[in-house]
Amino acid sequence: MGEEYWLIAANGEWATTPYLTAQLKNASQIIAADGGARELANRGFHASVIIGDFDSLSVEDKKFHQNAQIIEVKSQDETDLVKALNYCHFNGAKEVVIIGVDGGRTDHILGVFAALFEAPSELPVSLIHKDGVSYLVPPMASKLTSIQLKEDSCHTHFSKPFQCGEHVSVFAIGGEVMGLCIRGFEHAVEDETLSFSTRGIHNVCTSESAQITFDYEKSQGRLLIYRKN
């Protein structure tokens, strides 16, 4: 890949897809958010860094990841996922992929999306789910057709145009998204404002030239796009 990306292994359920395995193999850094280290060990992947309050980390996990940098952050003001995102941002990550975000306790699932609200605004973040991929659109991609990034980016899932029949949902995270245009879908939108709501759920692509764009400069929030497998 032409650009490096960092991968965060969270402490939820993991997808079992070739796409996830490829992301693990190609990541330049693997950051385990506390208990995410256990699932990494179960799959034979070593973490570069383990960060969190370590309420879920066992002695066996530490032994497997003996070469990892251990960063203990006891603060309860942030989840381990937020701690991992901040670590990536302040240490130079250009793109972040998060795995292990599904299943488990309801408050943990909600916490994943709350973490996106706290994520640095300029950091491209994607989440690999069991049934699809979510992408928190960075400023550089806000006006690109189909939210396309460069072909050598780690976000290959989003460098492809939307496909007819594909299910797509959009959400506003952290504030209103302004100037939203959704073209080539069953429910088209033209220059509208999207707030945090269910309005953008379950749209279906009807055109190979479908586009989703918005005005980043006027928006207070960021656009989260979910694409179903």
The CATH number for 121's domain is 3.40.50.10240
Taking 50 as the threshold, does the pLDDT of residue 15 lie above it?
A: yes
Q: Which of 130, 165, 186 is the last residue of a domain?
A: 130
pLDDT at 55: 84
Same domain, 101 and 207: no
Taking 90 as the threshold, does the pLDDT of residue 56 lie above it?
A: no
Same domain, 85 and 24: yes
d(CA 112, CA 228): 18
Domain span at 35: 1-130
d(CA 111, CA 115): 6
Same domain, 101 and 152: no
Same domain, 117 and 157: no
d(CA 221, CA 199): 15
User: What does the CA dihedral 178, 212, 147, 219 come to, rounded to 10 degrees?
Assistant: 0
d(CA 27, CA 139): 23
Q: What is the pLDDT of residues 89-123, one digit of tens each?
A: 999 998 999 999 998 788 888 888 889 888 887 78
Q: What does pLDDT average to over the chain?
A: 85
Q: What is the pLDDT of residues 18-30, one digit of tens each?
A: 888 889 999 999 9
Same domain, 59 and 108: yes
Q: Which runs of consecutive H residues, i.e. helices, occur in 12-58? A: 18-26, 36-42
Same domain, 175 and 109: no
Same domain, 48 and 99: yes
pLDDT at 25: 93
Q: Which of 106, 130, 154 is the last residue of a domain?
A: 130
Residue 36, judged by CB atoms within 10 A of its CB (0-12, 13-18, 19+), counts as buried
Same domain, 31 and 50: yes
Same domain, 115 and 144: no
Q: What is the pLDDT of residues 149-179, one digit of tens each?
A: 333 333 333 445 788 999 999 999 989 999 9
Same domain, 5 and 118: yes
Same domain, 123 and 105: yes
Taking 50 as the threshold, does the pLDDT of residue 132 lie above it?
A: yes
pLDDT at 141: 53
Average pLDDT over residues 203-225: 89
pLDDT at 195: 95
The CATH number for 201's domain is 2.60.120
Q: Which of 92, 112, 130 is the last residue of a domain?
A: 130
Same domain, 32 and 97: yes
Domain count, the chain: 2
pLDDT band for 75, please (50, 70, 90 cuts).
confident
For residue 60, report the phi and psi dihedrals to the nearest 5 degrees: -65, -40
pLDDT band for 139, please (50, 70, 90 cuts).
low
pLDDT at 91: 95
Residue 144 or 136, more confident? 136
